[in-house]
Structure 1
């Protein structure tokens, strides 16, 4: 969903990948922190998977998805993006074209590949898809990471989850601009600008699709991530013990549980963003043991995020009818599709993400 929250270099990804930074180059607290971030990515990605299992069944049966709040995985990705970009700035990464190229190569190739595949499917077998259409304007908007016009289906790109990548790419561009030309208070200026965008969206009557998209309060979740890193982890890391970390995780989970049946779209950053921020704040220090399988799921989480909806759709629209079933319990659908999602994610990670970063990462570094 993803989000940098999205080779591989854990610092340069929206959703997940293996680290290229050597452990020797990390501070004592940052090395385990990056492992914890991978675990958070895995958890966030699979929360979104759970949500889409229920949502796909709801489309077919007309029943409300019980686990709609699993979409909080997207909010976790956005908070992580703000956190990680602040870590990048804190480490002194040079703000030149390579900064933007690294993010583009990390996100775009797999996204473009899957967008093109969906465009072709929408041309030849449109009944297999819920929302993707073979609309050239939507394809162009998808390639440019821009929200479409009302005529092109609103802000939804061809690959539905691409709306989150539109936010990610815009955020990376803002980080580049503010860090390169923002002076001493550059990150404070970026946070203030995000607040300004949201306030602008509240006072403008009848904003168009593009303005409505970029002034949505959800952009404040990136600011939450910036705030977390600057105020807690950069200045007061010693105060965040494992006990405090798990208290933050449990508090976030409790707040989340209290809102699990809410409809948070208007002010999602409060209803789900605050719990997500608490989970991230605790999560980056709460995992003290290495969890190999969860780390691998974190490595594959970007592929999981882009792929899972279509595996679930295939299961609901093709496999269940082939078995003579009009529907199935959500848990059964999850158990049917989860191994396929994990396998597909691994194959995309090894077959697309890693080769792209190996080939183009070296040229970008020059």
Structure 2
């Protein structure tokens, strides 16, 4: 396969990725263009290394210099262009995340960061300007190891090199199949799950080296069809990478091997449109995500497809400019920019150090909030959510009550709140009201830990939840606490596809009765000890950052924005959680439904922010105003309860 067909294949890979990110649903599997890119990269890198090693001209230093000249100039340009727009438009918390991505990008570790922060297909991912750099990080990590492996095998067991690469590819494929079921997010982002795609390209390089140079219309057409099928048939639920990814990967291999001059596929890929887009494909890939992300960040509502189509065209225009005036001047052999290795290394080091320093500053200042106008800064400062005493990991709850997490501790009677970060955001307002009733409040909260005995979600942040809940419930049963508030992100918890029951992971989604039994057990253990349980029900939540959205509207001239969602949509989303939470029938169970506060003021809607007063900070957690409203509803429920353990008078006088 000659170079212009490879450029054409690059075009066939990059355009579906761009159109998928633009939101064109017809390209539901467009993300597999990245898998095709990995195959192409493995093919080209292996071909170059084998040719140079065979000629005795291979140099590891020269290899890495070529990679740096290929990758870094255009990347640096795009990152630099992102900075002023992020500075002007991005709210502090998101700017802090952007700063983290600067550091990760500079250290070739963006895939690790985005795995830890959020999923590739999460709604918020569309507003992350540098999300797409994860694939570049995977490629850079591959470049670190692959040449060393080839050099090592060439010197010692040259005849075994092909067999070793095939064995590694099969091992990586098997691992990706396993990880797609057990650790799907890590599987998507990490090199061990992706290595077989690069090595598939390496296999093609070996086959070509050994004489496979014959074109085939049926096989090349089949390969192109397999890629097209993946683009239009796969979607976000497809477990990629896994054995399912063999469809586009084998398709790319067939095109690389058999789309030779004279075949239909070669003729298509050699057309001017395909080859031109292929030549600028790297820059196009770099430009498209920041353009789309900043458009979504700046827009109050999702931009229409017409706007995204215009931005798609703009990404190609910018790609041509950066290819012509940045990529080529650094790569050409004659009169190239920074011609010496030393000057290139010094310049790269300086730029990377500047990015890292700026990223550290943005992280440490929590998003450089002072860059925003004063009213926006004040609004954002007053509409965060409380993380005080929100534990993470296995430390901090060895002994209970947790030190420093008992509020109003001088009072004779103390209540407790048990739950996850949602409970943490509610605690300050609840503690303030209980203080006025001479009641203390113990906060027992851990990130990702819904208060359900013996059950936890699968993400690694929830790995300690089983032990945490066991310790908390054991303590409460033996304590003098006689009222416990259970609050959590119930919708998230009850809609997981995988859980750990008593430490054992359950793969099936048919866990309804087991979850119901576990929640009943939690409530039963507490009420059997004479403890009154107050369950805080789900509340309306947003699909974007609510405080940031209000701040955007204020920044654009709307002084008192209102943000709503449809009440029917909220009820539909919350129905599974209501079914679980309604189940315990013990008379010592009270229920507080925040929907009474946020929904129904106007028919058919639930308010997330009302006339400038914001109830939800991000997408889920209560602002101080939202926590105040829910705390008032809790006190109302306590007033209605005739088993308040002697506090009726105090409550009535509040």
Work out whether the TM-score is over 0.5: yes
2:223 corresponds, among 227, 241, 248, to 248
User: Does the residue aligned with 1:182 lie in a helix, a strand or coil?
Assistant: helix
| Residue 122 (str. 1) matches residue 91 (str. 2) | no
For residues 49 and 132 of structure 1, do their structure 2 counterparts lie closer, same or farther at Cα, with a shift above 3 Å needed? farther
Measure how far apart 1:135 and its partner are.
Answer: 5.1
How far apart, CA to CA, are the structure 2 residues paired with 1:266 and 1:252? Answer: 14
The answer for unaligned runs of 5 or more in structure 2 is 121-127, 343-654
Who is 1:164 aligned against? 135
| Alignment length (residue pairs) | 317
2:238 corresponds, among 263, 275, 278, to 263
| Residue 363 (str. 1) matches residue 343 (str. 2) | no
Who is 2:34 aligned against? 74
Greater share of residues in strand: 2
Deviations 1:221-264 (A, max 9, x none): 11111122223x23343443344322432344346555457523
Who is 1:353 aligned against? 327
Who is 1:111 aligned against? 75
For residues 294 and 71 of structure 1, do their structure 2 counterparts lie closer, same or farther at Cα, with a shift above 3 Å needed? same
8 Å contact 2:29–2:230 — kept in the other structure?
Answer: no
| Residue 144 (str. 1) matches residue 144 (str. 2) | no
CA RMSD of aligned residues (A): 3.9
- Whose relative contact order is higher, 1 or 2, with alpha carbons under 8 Å and at least 6 apart? 1
How far apart, CA to CA, are the structure 2 residues paired with 1:327 and 1:136? Answer: 25
Who is 1:8 aligned against? none
| Residue 228 (str. 1) matches residue 204 (str. 2) | yes
Who is 1:274 aligned against? 250
| Residue 47 (str. 1) matches residue 22 (str. 2) | no
Who is 1:100 aligned against? 64
Greater shift in the superposed pair: 134-143 or 68-77? 134-143
Measure how far apart 1:114 and its partner are.
Answer: 2.0
Which structure has the larger Rg over C-alpha atoms? 2
User: Does the residue aligned with 2:149 lie in a helix, a strand or coil?
Assistant: helix
Deviations 1:134-173 (A, max 9, x none): 5544322211211445897369896111111111112222
8 Å contact 2:28–2:231 — kept in the other structure?
Answer: no
Superposition map of 1:1-12 within 5 A = none
Measure how far apart 1:316 and its partner are.
Answer: 5.4
Greater shift in the superposed pair: 82-91 or 283-292? 283-292
For residues 133 and 73 of structure 1, do their structure 2 counterparts lie closer, same or farther at Cα, with a shift above 3 Å needed? farther
How far apart, CA to CA, are the structure 1 residues paired with 2:258 and 2:237? Answer: 24
| Residue 88 (str. 1) matches residue 48 (str. 2) | yes
1:307 corresponds, among 287, 305, 309, to 287
| Residue 340 (str. 1) matches residue 340 (str. 2) | no
Measure how far apart 1:112 and its partner are.
Answer: 2.5
How far apart, CA to CA, are the structure 2 residues paired with 1:98 and 1:342? Answer: 30
Who is 1:218 aligned against? 194
Deviations 1:37-93 (A, max 9, x none): 0111122111111111117xxxxxxxxx44220112111101101111121133225
How far apart, CA to CA, are the structure 2 residues paired with 1:98 and 1:148? Answer: 28
8 Å contact 1:72–1:276 — kept in the other structure?
Answer: no
Greater shift in the superposed pair: 236-245 or 107-116? 236-245
For residues 72 and 199 of structure 1, do their structure 2 counterparts lie closer, same or farther at Cα, with a shift above 3 Å needed? closer
